Chain A
Amino acid sequence: MAIGWYLTVSAIIFAIGAIGVLVRPNPMVILLCLELMLNAANLALVAFSRMWGGESGQIFALIVMVVAACEVTVGLGLIVAIYRRQLAMDVDELSELHG
């Protein structure tokens, strides 16, 4: 398969993740959709790595995985803190910081 097909799949997954971040109210589902967007970027990186025949893109994809794992731990810690304070699991309700 040509590399362009992989990039198309990556673009579609990224768009689906962006829609989820914009539409869903639950902060946990928003984190999941962020994972989708990061994975789409990973797919594009690995596809470009295959296109050029170098492994730097795969290294970059692995670093992105590390960053995604960090983001998950901190985000889930925030969600547990929200739950402990018995606040609503809704990003529209959690808007005291909107300025």
Chain B
Amino acid sequence: MSAVLFFIAAIGAISGAIGVVMLRNPFYNVLALVCHLVFLAALFLLLRAEFVAAAQVVVYAGAVMVLYVFVVAYVGGADEPLHRHGGALKVLGPLFGAAVAVELCIAMLGTALKGVSSKGAPYISGFGTPKHIGTLFLTTYLFPFEIASLLLLVAAMGAVVLARRRRGLEGTTEGEGLVIYVGRPAYTGTMHETTGIEGGGGTTPEPEKQREPIGSQTGGRAGQTGDGRSEGGW
């Protein structure tokens, strides 16, 4: 029974991995990785690592993959070429991978570890349960635990810094961008407009001065709109 379950999970995990590499659409790549992770969690269960299997399904297949799906939907998952345009990597890459696999298998066959061919240590009751893992995390491995929380904090802040909107960054690229004109009330905008006010401001500017280009625009068009207001982006 254990052998049957192992082969089902192993074939599922390996075919999921092949799907990640071979499918063209990034959306299907993510779905193949979810499939791979679920089968890998089954392998963890067979190895009696209950908490790791649960964390794999909840954290990985649940949270991280949702992040991937969001980004694929944002960027746009179009079909794309499977290989790089030119170069020797198209041939050498699979050869290198096969060499790595063969080398790892040889290292495993030639190992002096006796336990590799056994079924593992005798099972102790409670092995791999959340209770044992939590006790270890809060006693022996307290320092890695705290370092992991710090690392998560740093990574979250780094992601926010990397993905935030930067002033003027989108305007520097070439290509025809979409310029959206949105009306806004007078005297709620730029410093140029504010300095032009003569005492309280009863006069409203003409309609084309109320409009501000929003959205990605080309550098040439930013220069053409003139009057110095659109130089700073938003």
- A70 CA to B98 CA in the complex, in Å? 29
Contact call B13/A84, Cβ cutoff below 8 A: no
Query: Which residues on the A side are within 8 Å of B13 (C-beta)?
Result: 9, 13
Query: Which residues on the A side are within 8 Å of B89 (C-beta)?
Result: 22-23
B152's contact among A9, A36, A51, A66, by CB below 8 Å, is which? A66
Contact call A19/B97, Cβ cutoff below 8 A: yes
CB within 8 Å for A32 and B163 given contacts A11-B108, A58-B128:
no
What sequence of 0s and 1s flags, for each residue 73-99 of chain A, a beta carbon within 8 Å of any chain B beta carbon? 110111111011111010110000000
Query: Which residues on the B side are within 8 Å of A43 (C-beta)?
Result: 40, 43-44
Contact call B55/A6, Cβ cutoff below 8 A: no
Query: Which residues on the B side are within 8 Å of A70 (C-beta)?
Result: 151-152, 154-155
B3's contact among A1, A18, A39, by CB below 8 Å, is which? A1
Nearest to A82 among chain B residues (CB) is B75
CB within 8 Å for A28 and B75 given contacts A43-B43, A65-B56:
yes
- A43 CA to B14 CA in the complex, in Å? 12
Contact call B162/A7, Cβ cutoff below 8 A: no
Contact call A84/B83, Cβ cutoff below 8 A: no
Contact call B49/A69, Cβ cutoff below 8 A: no
Residue with the highest number of chain A CB atoms closer than 10 Å, among B97, B127, B175 = B97
Main DSSP-derived SS at the A contact region: helix
What sequence of 0s and 1s flags, for each residue 48-69 of chain A, a beta carbon within 8 Å of any chain B beta carbon? 0111110110110111011111
Contact call B47/A15, Cβ cutoff below 8 A: no
- Minimum CB–CB distance for B130 against chain A, Å: 11
A84's contact among B49, B152, B156, B170, by CB below 8 Å, is which? B170
Query: Which residues on the B side are within 8 Å of A65 (C-beta)?
Result: 55-56, 59-60
Contact call B17/A13, Cβ cutoff below 8 A: yes
Contact call A2/B83, Cβ cutoff below 8 A: no
Nearest to B106 among chain A residues (CB) is A11
- Minimum CB–CB distance for B18 against chain A, Å: 6
Contacts of B5-26 to chain A: CB distance below 8 A: 6, 10, 13-14, 17-18, 20-21, 26
- A49 CA to B14 CA in the complex, in Å? 22
- Minimum CB–CB distance for A84 against chain B, Å: 6
Closest 7 CB pairs of A and B: A53-B121, A19-B97, A22-B93, A77-B162, A70-B155, A15-B101, A11-B104
Q: List 22 A-B contacts (CB under 8 A).
A: A7-B104, A7-B108, A15-B101, A18-B100, A23-B89, A28-B68, A32-B68, A36-B36, A50-B47, A51-B113, A51-B120, A53-B122, A58-B133, A61-B52, A62-B52, A66-B152, A69-B59, A69-B152, A73-B156, A73-B158, A73-B159, A80-B74
Where the two chains meet, the residues of B that have a C-beta atom closer than 8 Å to any C-beta of A are 2-3, 6, 10, 13-14, 17-18, 20-21, 26, 29-30, 33, 36-37, 40, 43-44, 46-49, 51-52, 55-56, 59-60, 63-64, 67-68, 71-72, 74-75, 80-85, 89-90, 92-94, 96-98, 100-101, 104-105, 108-109, 113, 115-122, 124, 127-128, 132-133, 136-137, 141, 144, 148, 151-152, 154-156, 158-163, 165, 169-170, 172-173, 175, 216
